[in-house]
Amino acid sequence: GECSAFKERFMECLRRSGYESTACRQRAMAYLECRMERRVQLMANEPLEKLGFKDLINEKSEEKPEK
C-alpha cells in the first residue's frame, strides 16, 4: 500500500480524462517510480526511458533551476 496514493491519483486522472492514458503520463510515471523505488515485488527496477517516459524525463530535468 506504499504507492496507493500514486495509484489513486493516476486512476482519478484516467477517470477525468475519459480513460485517455496519454493525458496521465506524468502520474503513471510517478506511480511506476514509486513502485520501483520501494522495491515493490511486483515491479523490477527498470530505467524509465525503457518504459516510454524518456520525453517526460527530459522535461523534468529542464524544469530544475540551474545552480
Using 50 as the pLDDT threshold, list the residues of the chain that sit under it. 67
The pLDDT value given to residue 46: 81
25 Cβ contact list (under 8 Å, min separation 6): 53, 56
Look up the pTM and report it.
0.67
Q: pLDDT value at position 60?
A: 62
Give the separation between CA 33 and CA 11, rounded to whole angstroms. Answer: 16
Q: Rounded distance, CA 60 to CA 67, Å?
A: 16
